[in-house]
Amino acid sequence: MERSDALRALAYRPLTAPWGAAVDLFRFAGAWAPPVEQIASGWGAWDGEQARGALLAERAGSSAMLHGPVVVAPPDAAPEAAFEIAGGLLGAVLDQAEGQGMTTLFTRPQGLDRLWVRNGFIPVPEAELPDALRGRSGVGLFGWRGGTALWSTAGRTAPRARAGR
């Protein structure tokens, strides 16, 4: 698939507080965003001064809950443009995750399963979420640990007593 000129011109860069452009995109799309005081980091896709996409993160230690991506593709863009912009945003997050001390990322799939799975996210149980990230809207949960699909809870929680012992 050939990328459009509009997509080649996009700049992907980190966002900073007060998160205005990102929050505006989330509102425009009718997507839930965390309260601004809980946003730890964010990334945007920019067409000049116009925000075309955003992805936000809340932190809890070395874990983060990703919100989005929310994308508004240019009117003349091909149907896959929004998916490509979303992939670019996620790529920016994953490139910076380790440097920012994020070793485990969580997200609600929002129908973007192929985006998450292609980037090493796998379905995980809600019990894996740190307490500080629980109670967010959405159904389903995907997790990423350093880009591998290996997921183990070994050593992460206190051992549970087995029934009958």
Q: Which pLDDT score is estimated for 140? A: 86
**Distance, C-alpha 65 to centroid of its chain:** 7
Contact between 47 and 10 (Cβ < 8 Å): yes
Q: Which pLDDT score is estimated for 162? A: 41
The full set of domains in the chain, from first to last, is 5-145 (3.40.630.30)
CA distance to 2, 14, 80, 96, 141, per residue, from 8 (Å): 10, 18, 14, 21, 31
Task: Please state the pTM of the whole predicted model.
Answer: 0.83
Please count the other Cβ atoms lying within 10 Å of the Cβ belonging to residue 108. Answer: 19
H/E run at residue 25: helix 20-29
In one letter, which amino acid is 146? G
Q: Which pLDDT score is estimated for 92? A: 92
Contact between 129 and 141 (Cβ < 8 Å): yes
Round to whole Å and give the CA distance between 64 and 52.
Answer: 23
Which residue numbers in the chain have pLDDT < 50? 1-3, 149, 154-165
